Amino acid sequence: MQLFPSALCSDQSRANMALPFLCLICFSVLYYFLFFTVPSKPHNVQRVAFHFQPIKNWMNDPNGPMLYKGYYHFFYQWNPYAAVWGNITWGHAVSKDLIRWHHLEVALIPNQWYDLYGCWSGSATLVEEGKPIITYTGWSNASHSEDHKVQMQALAMPADYGDPLLRKWVKAPGNPIITAPQGIDSNFFRDPTTAWKGADGKWRMLVGSKENMTGMALLYRSPDFLNWRKAITPLHSVNGTGMWECPDFYPVSISDTYGLNTSAYGQGVMHVLKVSFVHDYYTVGTYITSNDTFLPVQSNLDVGIGLRYDYGKYYASKSFFDANKNRRILFGWVNESDGEAADISKGWASVQAFPRKVWLDKETNCSLLHWPIEELESLHRSKVTLDSVSLWKGSVTVVEGIKGAQLDVEATFDLPEINDAEIMDVSAENAQLMCSEKGASRNGVIGPFGFLVLATDDEMEHTAIFFVVVNSKDGWKVLVCSDQSRSSLATNLDKTTYGSFSNLSGSQTSVSVRILVDNSIVETFALGGKICITSRVYPKNAVGEAARLFLFNNGTVPIRMNSLIARELAGAKIDGIES
């Protein structure tokens, strides 16, 4: 028998022998890459499960939310080509419940001389017979010079009002409808609001701007929505605030929590003016219709020097009136906390905050309350409830029976005798610093106490949401903090600790918090929605089923947790075309 048949040396036999060998090598390489080099798809665990985000690439501001023919429409600043800002179009999605979304074709792309470099932020207004019109900012060049970019306002209408999905939008032939007026730098002239109708039947809208360092909301009026004239005085301006991006102006009821149509005014109505610069600042005031100006309730809480919608990562927000449920709903852009390179490698960047209902806080009459929209309940799954749990000095206790990175947690803590509170001067200027310097792991007196979310069993990774009661120069205060310093074993992340505070009245006996956790976003609604803090965190190990919820108290005074409901949440389907 020929042990080594000559055929073995032929090319054909070599190939036959080489094939299994090659397969073995391929298989080993594949096995190595699958099981040794790819830990747990780190970028996918950062994608959110019940927050709005595009299928891929970069997103920023929410634009033109509205309800039309039974569908909620949501538009957003979107770069179709990359996970970084640029080539800005209007992405478009629709939903029946503001949670489960279907992405549609892009609504606006930069294809006209006046929006050549981008279709920037704007709004939607339901005009005659409830027909929508989009107002947006076109970013283009002037005098064919790429160096001199200008901003101007433009309109777009649905191609077919009969289509409830409003898939196709047409830009108005008369665009641009407004160019920068004399005295205003055309680089600082953008983001038209939803328009409202005055008693004289004319439409009004605002455009964000500035003159030197005075931020302002320029007011425009129109009899027909096509021809707009600037009012001599802006609706409002504040010295030293700089460019006002994405203004939002809307009425709130002084007697109940219902929302109002954007054109509502008169008795029983106050107005909110919100503008974006660095953060989203708002002020509650009176809209003086006789001369179209706005007067804040408290001048020391004027726009930009007073209240914020959110004390974490939250920007360029936009509200709309939901006539379906008579409420005002707010969307806000939540950026990433990693760098550009990480975003490029993930292939996406940014999420929208969970939609919030907003209304006037009747206790103050000059601030708002925010609360996650009730539709979230449709995602509730198993829950754990606890009553009356004592959190002793230094205790850190896992909440049994609940786990995962998608949670809705609500709790109330009884306040102990507050005379014991440590002395700490807390003000609007230093609240965040106090939260950060003092941190969750410091030993205090009344607090820090609260929750560790997205925590590993060994607590090495966690995001701490906590309270500290203090005796400040001007009264008792409670600090509300979101401490990200140990949120991830990964480095090169923005782990800023956020915080704010509220005054405590002598009669206040408890503090409450609701926390929404969704893989890489943690939203805190403290004190019934008086203080909101949004954080982005990227744990390496506290992901999926491995994520735990803890209660802790690092103060010397024991704290009684009065009630806790912690729920696991299902994800919400977001599908559709990638545009």
Residue 256: CB minimum distance to ligand DQQ, A: 32
Least distance CB 121 / ligand DQQ (angstroms):
3
Per-residue x/- track, 311-340, ligand DQQ (CB under 6 A): -----x------------------------
Does residue 67 contact residue 322 with C-beta atoms inside 8 Å?
yes
Taking the least distance from each CB to ligand DQQ, the nearer of 316 and 418 is 316
Closer Cβ to ligand DQQ, 190 or 271, answer by number: 190
Cα distances from 54 to residues 169, 535, 577, in angstroms, run 20, 19, 10
Which CB sits closer to ligand DQQ, 121 or 367?
121
**Residue matched to tokens 């090319």:** 11
Residue environment code for 189-202, b if the CB has 16+ CB neighbours within 10 A, otherwise e: bbbbbbbbbeeeeb
Six-digit token string for 258: 């219902």
Exposure on the CB side of residue 144, measured as CA atoms within 13 A: 0
Judge whether 61 counts as a catalytic residue.
yes
Please identify, using beta-carbon distances, which residue of 311 and 333 lies nearer to ligand DQQ: 333
The interface with ligand DQQ within residues 297-316 (CB under 6 A) comprises: 316
Q: How far is the CB of 218 from ligand DQQ (least distance, A)?
A: 14
Q: Which of 464, 471, 463 is nearest to 501 (CA)?
A: 471
Number of residues that bind ligand DQQ (CB under 6 A): 12
Fill in the amino acid letter for 106.
V
Helix, strand, coil abundance in the chain, percent, nearest 5:
15, 45, 40
List 61, 115, 248, 518, catalytic entry: 61
Token pair 């660095």 in the structure block, residue: 278
Smallest gap, in angstroms, from Cβ of residue 288 to ligand DQQ? 27
Residue span 153-192 as binding mask against ligand DQQ, x where in contact by CB under 6 A, dash where not: -------------------------------------xx-
Q: Are 379 and 569 in contact (CB under 8 A)?
A: yes
Q: Which of residues 439-498 bind ligand DQQ (CB under 6 A)?
A: none
Q: For residue 293, how many other CB atoms are within 10 A of its CB?
A: 17
**To the nearest whole angstrom, how small is the minimum distance from the Cβ of residue 520 to ligand DQQ?**
20
Residues 42-101 that bind ligand DQQ (CB under 6 A): 60-61, 77, 88
Per CB under 6 A, which of residues 493..532 are in contact with ligand DQQ?
A: none
Six token digits for residue 104? 């549609």
Interface residue with ligand DQQ among 245, 361, 375, 523 (CB under 6 A) is 245
Among 137, 237, 471, 488, the residue binding ligand DQQ under the rule CB under 6 A is 137
Q: Which is nearer to ligand DQQ, 133 or 547 (CB)?
A: 133
Question: In the range 113-132, which residues lie near ligand DQQ by CB under 6 A?
Answer: 120-121
DSSP type of residue 36? I
Q: How far is the CB of 276 from ligand DQQ (least distance, A)?
A: 6
Spacing of C-alpha 63 from chain mean position: 12
Output 88 or 515, the one with its CB closest to ligand DQQ: 88
Residue 11 phi, psi (nearest 5): -55, -40
Q: Is 8 left (phi over 0), alpha (psi -120 to 50) or beta?
A: alpha
Least distance (Å) from ligand DQQ to the CB of residue 127?
Answer: 22
- Residue pair 481/511 in contact (Cβ under 8 Å)? The answer is no
d(CA 571, CA 333): 20
DSSP letter, residue 181? P
Q: Six-digit token pair at 109?
A: 């792309």
> Whose Cβ is closer to ligand DQQ: residue 96's or residue 148's?
148
Residues with active-site annotation: 61
Q: Residue numbers of the site for ligand DQQ (CB under 6 A)?
A: 60-61, 77, 88, 120-121, 137, 190-191, 245-246, 316
